[in-house]
């Protein structure tokens, strides 16, 4: 049995998509979802899906080993950042080498780094008149969005596309690719 832990800060549509993908797979289980936002929609989704979802505060994550020890006790095979917006501290990167995977809503190394998340990314892509955008699934290291790339997928951006259209295309790519890539990593 493979155990995954997910960290999310927002709506959690990727969490739901991943949960649905694995729901009939008896070899993979979601040990828990963790969120740093008390009012994140992901909490409602997890309640509806009957998935354990725990809130943590920033200090327990960034300034101590508190959350690290809780997650270690769950013995995860993979920690998945599904719309998680805090920087991963060094103690996590050291404790879980090649076991923390992030999805970023752009074609890294473009549009990565601090402050580049969600609609900020799609607005920047639009403002720069990019002809394409996409997703990047990558391992997490100590720097924002700089870990080794595992998988990328692209979508065209047309002149008439708004940032919201771009967001929709990127989400569609995320839903299609992220669970499959997680599945592949777990199988290796
Ligand atoms: C996703 O598009 C994900 O790629 C992005 O946040 C969104 C979360 O959506 N992550 C980042 O921007 C990380 N830098 P969701 O909450 O509906 O899954």
Task: Express each pLDDT in 97-135 by its tens digit.
Answer: 999 999 999 999 999 999 999 999 999 999 999 999 999
Q: What is the pLDDT of residue 42?
A: 98
In ligand 1, which atom is closest to the CA atom of 102? 13
Residues taking part in catalysis = 104
In ligand 1, which atom is closest to the CA atom of 145? 14
The mean of the pLDDT values for the chain is 97
3-class state of residue 100 by DSSP:
strand
Domains and CATH numbers, the chain: 1-97 (3.40.50.170), 104-188 (3.40.50.170)
Residue nearest to atom 6 of ligand 1 (CA): 83
For 153, phi and psi rounded to 5 degrees? Answer: -140, 145
Q: What does the pLDDT average to over 133-138?
A: 98
Q: What is the pLDDT of residue 71?
A: 98
Return the best residue to mutate from 37, 41, 103, 119 for the ligand 1 pocket (most ligand atoms within 8 A of CB): 103
Structure tokens, 139: 């391992």
3-state secondary structure 60-85: HHHCCCHHHHHHHHCCCCEEEECCCC
* CA 121/CA 117 separation, integer angstroms: 6
3-class state of residue 34 by DSSP:
strand
What residues have CB less than 8 Å from 139, skipping those under 6 apart?
A: 98, 100, 101, 102, 147, 148, 150
pLDDT digits (tens, 9 = 90+) for 14-52: 999 999 999 999 999 999 999 999 999 999 999 999 999
* CA 41/CA 35 separation, integer angstroms: 10
* Residue 89 near residue 69 (C-beta atoms within 8 A): no
DSSP state of 39: T
Contact 122 CB / ligand 1 (< 6 Å) = no
């Amino acid at each position: 049995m493979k155990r995954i832990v997910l960290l999310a800060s927002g709506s959690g549509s990727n969490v739901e998509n991943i949960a649905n993908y694995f729901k009939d797979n008896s070899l993979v289980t979601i040990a828990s979802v963790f969120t740093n936002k008390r009012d994140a929609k992901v909490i409602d989704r997890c309640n509806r899906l009957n998935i354990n979802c725990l809130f943590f505060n920033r200090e327990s994550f960034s300034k101590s080993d508190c959350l690290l020890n809780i997650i270690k006790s769950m013995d995860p095979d993979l920690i998945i950042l599904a719309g998680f917006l805090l920087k991963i501290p060094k103690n996590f990167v050291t404790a879980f080498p090649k076991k923390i995977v992030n999805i970023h809503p752009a074609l890294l190394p473009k549009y990565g780094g601090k402050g580049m998340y969600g609609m900020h990314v799609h607005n920047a892509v639009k403002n720069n008149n990019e002809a394409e955008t996409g997703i990047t699934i990558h391992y997490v290291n100590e720097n924002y969005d700089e870990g080794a790339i595992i998988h990328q997928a692209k979508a065209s951006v047309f002149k008439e596309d708004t940032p919201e259209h771009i967001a929709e295309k990127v989400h569609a790519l995320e839903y299609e690719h992220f669970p499959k890539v997680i599945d592949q990593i777990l199988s290796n």
